[in-house]
Amino acid sequence: MADTTRQSTGIAGLDHALNGGFPPGSRIIISGSPLSGLELLAQQFWQAGGGTGTYLMLDAVPFEGMTDARAIDTTTLAGAMQGERIVVDSLSTLICARGIDAAVEFIVEDTREIIEKGATIVYILYAGMHTPYEEARLMRAADVFITLRHQIHGNEFERTLAIEKLKGSDVPQRVIPYHITAEGLELSTTSRVV
pLDDT in tens, 79-137: 999 999 999 999 999 999 999 999 999 999 999 999 999 999 999 999 999 999 999 99
Residue 151 DSSP SS3: strand
Enter the DSSP assignment of 26.
Answer: -
What confidence category does residue 192 fall into, taking pLDDT thresholds of 50, 70 and 90?
A: low
Alpha carbon 149 to its chain's center: 14
What confidence category does residue 2 fall into, taking pLDDT thresholds of 50, 70 and 90?
A: very low
- Determine the residue type at 158: E
Length of the chain: 194
Instruction: Report the alpha-carbon distance of residue 104 to residue 188 in Å, rounded.
Output: 33
Check: CB of residue 23 under 8 Å from CB of residue 168: yes
Residue 54: how many other CB atoms lie within 10 Å: 23
pLDDT in tens, 14-68: 999 999 999 999 999 999 999 999 999 999 999 997 767 999 999 999 999 899 9
Give the percent of the chain with pLDDT over 90: 76
Domains of the chain: 23-147 (3.40.50.300)
